[in-house]
Amino acid sequence: MGYYIQAEQGVHLFVEDVGSGVPVLFIHGWPLNHLMWEYQVTQLPKYGYRCIQVDLRGYGKSDRPWSGYGYDRMADDIRAVVDALGLTNARLVGFSMGGAIAIRYMSRHNGHGMSRLILAAAAAPSFTMQPDYPYGMSREAVDSLIAGLYANRPQTLDDFGNLFFASNITESFRSWFNALGLSSDARATIAGAEALRDEDLRPDLPRIQTPTYIFHGVMDRVCLFPLALEMHKGIRGSTLVPFQHSGHGLFYDELELFNRSLLTALKE
H helices of the chain, in order, are 38-41, 71-85, 97-108, 139-161, 171-182, 186-198, 225-234, 250-253, 255-267
What SS3 state is found at 133? strand
Measured distance CA(100)–CA(126) in Å, rounded: 9
Phi-psi region of 121 (alpha: psi -120 to 50; beta: other; left: phi over 0): left
End-to-end CA distance of the chain: 28
Task: Just list the catalytic residues.
Answer: 96, 220, 248
Strand partners, 137: 128
| Secondary structure in 3-state letters for 191-230 | HHHHHHHHCCCCCCHHHCCCCEEEEEECCCCCCCHHHHHH
Measured distance CA(167)–CA(184) in Å, rounded: 25
Measured distance CA(14)–CA(188) in Å, rounded: 15
